[in-house]
Structure 1
């Protein structure tokens, strides 16, 4: 479904297929304490493993891994993965490099570009994600993009001795079409 690895351009960001040239940005992203909390990532990342990971993404037709760049600099990644071809659905995840790029609209634009690409070029009907209940900023961005809360995974994350829920959200092709005014 994602054999084609496009470059998607917006006003603020350009999404490019991830590659080894983005590893330093990925290591910075995963090393940021706030990003780790917001994504629930307990483990750090080894640069060698990250280099191998990013170098091999182009060969996976079942996922789309894109680096989010602004002014040519890596500012995060957005991924469509966990494809369920029988039910025409997949998962989306996004992470920005940290507080220095938060609030600039990069995530919102990256999500819009990926949804547009997915619903225009694939038969996908549903794109889902999970967001921790304490991440109000991300939840607001997802709602702005058309994602609807569908349920809650209770006590899904144990962080610093406290349990946190994960809100499950999704956007459906007809909702995206109605919102965007586009035919997929």
Structure 2
């Protein structure tokens, strides 16, 4: 049985190069800037441009949501905002949740920071929340993210054909998931 109180706690999780902290209004500027980055928008499939006020309100309300966990990714030792991640769509009956991560700029990719952040949140999801399964969608062209997910134990479970229309081209999305035992095996 999962522990829903672990979603209400809004923990700080620290690794070697990243710290995950509760997403709050203080992260609005960095989060807003990421919504303006064209490559970040393409990788996340976000067509809509959010106003500063919408982003500010969204960031400010994340701590009050007892049904999900939204954390900011902070680079160590600089303290720079790198992006955000979340566990949401929590299904207590089936002990599963969705995972989402978005780095705020391409400068943060390719250095293992997303992998470290993913491992930190998955450890929390399986150890503290006591989930059995964590799943995600990723666009098939995002090979770097797919490699990170595979390194953390995720496996492809399905394909959503033509799920994204971007600049006149259609792209598939992959459904990937990791079970607790697969994550533990990947961490050995």
Give me the TM-score of the superposition, normalised by structure 1.
0.95
2:43 aligns with 38
2:25 corresponds to 1:20: yes
Q: Aligned to 2:71, what secondary structure does the other structure show?
A: strand
State the superposition RMSD in angstroms.
1.0
Partner of 1:80: 87
Deviation at 1:175, TM superposition (A): 1.3
Selected match of 1:166 from 159, 165, 173: 173
Unpaired runs of at least 5, structure 2: none
Q: Distance in 2 between matches of 1:133 and 1:157?
A: 10
Detail structure 1 runs of 4+ shifted over 2 Å in the superposition. Answer: 177-181
Shift of 1:179: 2.9
Quick one: distance in 1 between partners of 2:50 and 2:31?
A: 9
Residue 111 of structure 1, aligned match among 118, 127, 131: 118
- Following superposition, the deviation at residue 61 of structure 1 comes to 1.3
Please give the secondary structure, in 2, of the residue aligned with 1:21. helix
Report 1:143-162 matches (<5 A).
143-162=150-169
How much has 1:176 moved relative to structure 2?
A: 1.6
Query: Which of 65, 69, 73 lines up with 1:64 in the alignment?
Result: 69
- Looking at structure 2, the residues matched to 34 and 179 of structure 1 have their Cα atoms a distance apart, in angstroms, of 29
* Aligned partner of 2:10 among 5, 8, 11: 5
1:7-27 per-residue CA deviation (whole Å, 9 max, x = no partner) reads 000010000000111011111
Mapped pair 1:125 → 2:132 = yes
Residue by residue over 1:52-99, the C-alpha shift from the partner in whole angstroms, topping out at 9 and shown as x without a partner, is 111111111111000000121101101110111111111000000111
2:58 to 53, 56, 61: 53
Query: Residues of 2 paired with 1:174 and 1:17: CA distance?
Result: 27
Distance 2:66 2:150 in 1: 28
Give the aligned length: 181
The whole-number CA distance in structure 2 between the counterparts of 1:164 and 1:103 is 22
Structure 1 unpaired stretches of 5+: none
Alpha-carbon separation, structure 2, partners of 1:35 and 1:106: 16
Instruction: Note the C-alpha offset of 1:34.
Output: 0.4
